[in-house]
Amino acid sequence: MTDTVLASEPIFSTSTRPESLTELIWRRFRRHRLALLAAILLLLMVTLVLAAPLSRYSPTDQNPRNDFAPPSAEHWFGTDELGRDVFTRILYGGRISLAVGIFSTLFSLAIGIVIGALSGYYGGWIDNILMRITDTFLILPVVFVLILFSALLREMPALAEFRNSVWLVIVAISVFAWMLPARLARGLFLVLREKEFVSASRALGASDARLIFLRILPNSIGPLLVTATLEMAYAIITESGLSYLGFGIQPPTPSWGNILESAQIHVYRAPWLAIFPGLMIFITVMAINFIGDGLRDAFDPYVIHTEK
């Protein structure tokens, strides 16, 4: 008796489909346990600061009779010299610090990508001019220039009503944080503009704008995302430093930096005033850096190619 194969039964299984690039990147990111834990931790922190209005305390209400109260069930992080709840102030301060980090990163990345893309794609005299401008910004002593720039912005009569605005700090940081993304974008565009898919699109009549933003830029997203995590960590530290020195967010608006600044004269009497905001800065920056490490591994083109 001979065996027959029914037409309805496929010889080869088609139940598994090939893994998409997005699924491959996500699978490789999940392998980086520290990066995954950092992403969960950062998501939890963002959720907490967004839920700050649910706190029963106000970040500005004072209760001098309950000043310097140590951490307890009533005040989880204790109270400060004016009797304000430190936990609530840290949550509201986190809204400011994270907002500065996110928007400064977006703005600096946008500036850097545009400058780097134009420089790397066109080359020639455009590349020379844009890179000399970038080099000029790179040699500036950033901290001192930021202090001066922030002070000048606050003293401009036209910006008097925005003197304590978060946007002034975001602008000040963004203006001096776009150089690294610009250099990276330039290097990526110099390589990718010579690839076959770009040449094919150019032969089909694609415009320069289409080639830059719809062909080359999407293929550069991996390294640029990794750079974005570095930029965000830098922006949070910079804002905290500026606020600590008195040139960032001004009291009574809380930020992690100015909470630390007000805690320095009470550090021996009430160490929790400095410990908790410092811990928030440390945890946030470390989490962002670990996420950057995970993204770097996940977008590594050589590893992705071998796994495929």
DSSP reduced 3-state for 85: strand
Report residue 194 as tokens.
């010579």
CA distances from 219 to 33, 137, 167, 212, 305 (A): 26, 27, 31, 10, 14
The structure's pTM equals 0.84
Ordered domains of the chain (ranges, CATH): 32-46+64-307 (1.10.3720.10)
Q: What is the pLDDT of residue 159?
A: 62
Give the mean pLDDT of 266-291. 90
Residue 177 CB burial class (10 angstroms; 0-12, 13-18, ≥19): buried
Q: What is the pLDDT of residue 4?
A: 46
Highest mean pLDDT among 14-28, 37-51, 68-82, 133-147: 37-51
Query: What's the pLDDT tens digit per position in 205-217?
Result: 888 889 998 889 9
Q: What is the pLDDT of residue 286?
A: 93
Q: What is the pLDDT of residue 22?
A: 78
Asked if the peptide bond before residue 252 counts as cis, ω within 30 degrees of 0, the response is: yes
Query: What's the pLDDT tens digit per position in 39-66?
Result: 999 999 999 999 988 888 888 888 888 8
Amino acid of residue 15 = S
Give the mean pLDDT of 1-5. 46
Query: What's the pLDDT tens digit per position in 141-166?
Result: 877 888 887 777 777 776 656 666 78
